[in-house]
């Protein structure tokens, strides 16, 4: 097998015979706490690729520009070559996770308006939370690009909230990443899956996302399978 150009915690990126396309390969690894907790779950890569492709197709159909070209097989997706902006863009609709820990807020409070957050993608510094001025000062993105990211992200939030609600799931929060093509166009990249979203059952608030692994409260594969089944049966 060819050497990946890049290997992350859950995915590998490969060059293709086209200079402007990559193949992303989903692995079975799960990590939490910046790699402090690490395990492998047979079939996780297939589930995340399948779920993420369905979501990216839905977003494309709704007018969001993404890196997606086509799903190649159950673990691989062909994408436009992009340079990932070193920003983790997060939206919160309901309080959870680091927001609660950082601010001493209870989990599960429905926010009046979505919160847009950015973290600087830098493992050595624990992906610190930053604001627009920090991002501009560090030259991670221009002011105009950040304004675009905010607008596009809030549109994506509205689309994802409506999408998951059809499957009786509340979108609590999520993380997305954007990339820039060689032509300078910013598109949604990376993945959207139960690894990167918090999803709670509308009636019971049962968790259907990576928190089952982070908090050791359930079986990751069964949980991700249940998300995909909901997405396929409605
Ligand atoms: N998230 C992610 N990757 C990260 C950090 C966060 O996909 O490196 C997602 C996470 O799954 C959740 C949202 O972003 O849906 C908000 O995460 P939070 O800041 O609460 O961090 P956590 O509690 O996961 O450390």
Pocket of ligand 1 contains residue 99 by CB under 6 Å: yes
d(CA 162, CA 50): 19
Mean of the per-residue pLDDT values of the chain:
97
- Give the pLDDT confidence of 93-105 residue by residue, as tens digits: 999 999 999 999 9
Q: Whose CA is nearest to atom 5 of ligand 1?
A: 175
**Cα of 16 to ligand 1 centre, how many Å?**
31
Q: From the alpha carbon of 127, which atom of ligand 1 is closest?
A: 8
Statement: the pTM of the whole predicted model exceeds 0.85: yes
Name the residue of 196, 208, 213 to mutate for ligand 1: max ligand atoms within 8 A of Cβ: 196
Q: From CA 41, how far away is CA 32, in angstroms rounded?
A: 14
Ligand 1 proximity of 173 Cβ (cutoff 6 Å): yes
Confidence of residue 1 (pLDDT cuts 50, 70, 90): low
Average pLDDT over residues 182-210: 98
Read off φ and ψ for residue 31, nearest 5 degrees: -130, 160
Q: Tell me the percentage of the chain whose pLDDT exceeds 90.
A: 97
Q: How far apart are CA 26 and CA 14, in angstroms?
A: 11
Residues 117-137: pLDDT tens digits?
Answer: 999 999 999 999 999 999 999
Tell me the pLDDT band of 34, cut-offs 50, 70 and 90: confident
122-125-127-129 Cα dihedral, nearest 10 degrees: -130
35 has a pLDDT exceeding 90: no
Answer for the pair 51, 167: CB distance below 8 angstroms, yes or no.
Answer: no
Would you say the CB of residue 90 lies under 6 angstroms from ligand 1?
yes
Taken in order 7, 11, 12, 18, the sign of the CA dihedral is negative
96 CA closest ligand 1 atom index: 20
Residues 6+ apart with CB under 8 A from 8: none
Pair of tokens at residue 35: 């790699």
pLDDT band at 168 (very low <50, low <70, confident <90, very high): very high
Helix, strand, coil distribution of the chain in percent, nearest 5 = 30, 35, 35
Name the band, by pLDDT with cuts 50, 70 and 90, for residue 23.
very high
Question: How high is the pLDDT of residue 233?
Answer: 84
pLDDT given at position 74: 98
For range 192-207, the mean pLDDT: 98
Ligand 1 atom nearest 33 alpha carbon: 25
User: Tokens in use for 111?
Assistant: 């926010």
Q: Which residues of 167-200 are buried (b: 16+ CB within 10 A; e: fewer)?
A: bebbbbbbbbbbbbbeeeebbbbbbbbbbbbbbb
| Per-residue pLDDT at 54 exceeds 80 | yes
Residue 37: the pLDDT is 95
Top-confidence residue, 34 or 82: 82
Q: Which helix (H) or strand (E) holds 7?
A: strand 6-7
Is any atom of ligand 1 closer than 6 Å to the C-beta of 196? Answer: yes
């Amino acid at each position: 097998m060819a050497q990946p150009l890049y290997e992350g915690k859950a995915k590998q990126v490969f060059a293709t015979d086209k200079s402007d396309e990559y193949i992303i390969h989903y692995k079975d690894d799960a990590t939490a706490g910046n790699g402090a907790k690490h395990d492998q779950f047979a079939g996780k890569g297939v589930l995340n690729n399948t779920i993420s492709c369905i979501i990216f197709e839905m977003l494309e159909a709704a007018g969001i520009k993404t890196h997606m070209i086509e799903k190649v097989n159950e673990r691989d997706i062909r994408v436009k070559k992009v340079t990932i902006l070193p920003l983790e863009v997060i939206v919160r609709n309901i309080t959870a996770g680091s927001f609660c820990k950082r601010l001493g807020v209870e989990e599960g409070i429905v926010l009046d308006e979505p919160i847009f957050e950015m973290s600087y993608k830098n493992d050595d510094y624990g992906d610190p939370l930053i604001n627009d001025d920090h991002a501009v000062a560090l030259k991670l993105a221009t002011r105009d690009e950040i304004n675009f990211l905010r607008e596009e992200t809030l549109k994506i939030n509205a689309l994802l909230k409506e999408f998951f609600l059809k499957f009786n799931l509340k979108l609590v929060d999520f993380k997305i990443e954007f990339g820039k093509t060689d032509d300078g166009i910013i598109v949604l990249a990376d993945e959207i899956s139960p690894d990167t979203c918090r999803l709670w059952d509308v009636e019971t608030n049962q968790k259907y996302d990576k928190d089952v692994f982070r908090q050791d409260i359930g079986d990751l594969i069964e949980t991700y399978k249940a998300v995909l089944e909901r997405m396929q049966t409605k």
